Amino acid sequence: MSLDRRAFLGGTAAMTGAAMLPSFASAADTIKLGSILDTSGIFDAYGKPMDMAMRLAVDEINASGGLLGKQVEVSGYDTQSDMALYSQYAQQLTRQDRVDVVHGGILSASREAIRQTMRKTKTLYFYNVLYEGGVCDRNIFINGVTPAQQVEALVPYAMKKAGKKVYILAADYNYGQITARWIQKFVADNGGETVGLDFFPLDVSDFGSTIAKIQTAAPDLVIAPLVGGAHLSFFRQWAAAGMKDRIPLASTTLGVGNEQLVLTPEEGNGIMVAYNYSQQLDTPANAAFKASWLAAFGDNSNIHETAVSTYQGVKTWAKAVEMAGSLDRDSIIDALETGISIEGPGGKVTVDPKTHHAVLDVHLMEFEDQKMKVIETLPQRQPIDTQSVCDLATSPNDNIQYEIQI
């Protein structure tokens, strides 16, 4: 996730990525998909469902006859939430396993540990997590929402419901800092005022003095791009202080890994969010996806945003392979750059040729009894933040993560 982030929510379903799936035939008769994820360790609440979603997508592809007449074989590695293993496994996938594509990475740091190896070895790479934006590299395709896609939708909705005076609480690293700037921009664009802005290291869990500061500032709305288990304490302490029903809350992170399940309904009800996915989406594609997941794993309670992004990333890659009629990397990139689309559990997913990011449906939602109730769907939101700095059509050799000026 853009996210150098998140360490809680233990105990999701099985299917670790440490073991490879067995080969279906000789290597020459299979297409090799590499995966590098944290399926154990402190980030496994994200990595395990992502691994499950990836394998479900591959199973569905193989059950439909595979790609180009071949079955897809997974070579999956568990980094155990150890950043050093990302570089090691990236080298192993590209130089020893010789995979055709890699899907993987959770934190931004893990993405960057993988990305240069994939570029040097000319191995196509998909990063399927929401993040802070700005990556410009023709060899990578990114399927998660960026801050502008999400915040542009969430801020005016929350301000219309709560008021124009906004207080921001953010995680103190790149994702939180960049997202806070986007929130400030869209607050101002919608005629509002930011009356407070505080940043917190990821290990901060005591928000008593902060809640007192917010009470003094008397905002109409608090928006909280807070990250991880320690920061989850804010939402509990806010409710315990009797503030939840006095000043509404919105968040750009709560719920992306099913964090709302850790809160009681009394603590979480009414918090406003905007993401690409909710299990409550009433669409044929989501119904089919949940049924397939339930049949495969026996429980769909652990489906979340990054799992769905992974599923949609694999299906987008598969469509491009079919369109290219080849496993040649450049031919697949050319196919993706036509702006192909799939209909996924979160809605329509379209490749933006200019940035290689996804154009996504963004759903405005509120927590209700630990579920994300869909209020409104905003179709096909462009990654306008990354579009402002990246144009791979004119600069195909670009290889940088830009710091977007807001």
Q: Which class in CATH covers the domain with range 148-275?
A: alpha beta
17, 51 in Cβ contact below 8 A? yes
Length of the chain: 406
Is the fold of 31-145+280-361+380-401 the same as that of 148-275? yes
End-to-end, the C-alpha distance of the chain in Å comes to: 21
Using the predicted structure, report yes or no on whether residue 25 has a pLDDT greater than 60: no
Predicted local distance difference test score (pLDDT) of residue 229: 79
Alpha-carbon gap, residue 133 to 147, rounded angstroms: 7
Higher local confidence (pLDDT), 143 or 174: 143
Q: What is the pTM of this model?
A: 0.89
Please say whether the beta carbons of 105 and 38 come within 8 A.
Answer: no
Contact criterion met (CB below 8 Å) for 277 and 305: yes
Rounded Cα distance, 185 and 131, in Å: 18
- The residues spanned by each domain of the chain are 31-145+280-361+380-401, 148-275
Any alpha helices (H) in 275-355, and if so which ranges? 284-297, 305-324, 329-336
Position 273, amino acid = V
Paired residues of 30 in beta bridges:
71
Q: Is 256 exposed, middle or buried (0-12, 13-18, 19+ CB in 10 A)?
A: buried
pLDDT, tens digit (0-9, with 9 covering 90-100), for 56-84: 999 999 999 999 999 999 999 999 988 89
Chosen CATH of 31-145+280-361+380-401 out of 3.30.70.250, 3.30.700.30, 3.40.190.80, 3.40.50.2300: 3.40.50.2300
Exposure string of 120-146, with b = 16+ CB inside 10 Å and e = fewer, is ebebbbbbbbbbbbbbbbbbbbbbbbb
Per-residue model confidence as pLDDT tens digits over 75-113: 999 999 888 999 999 999 999 999 999 999 998 889 999
Cα-based distances in Å from 6 to 77, 107, 355, 371, 382: 20, 9, 26, 20, 26
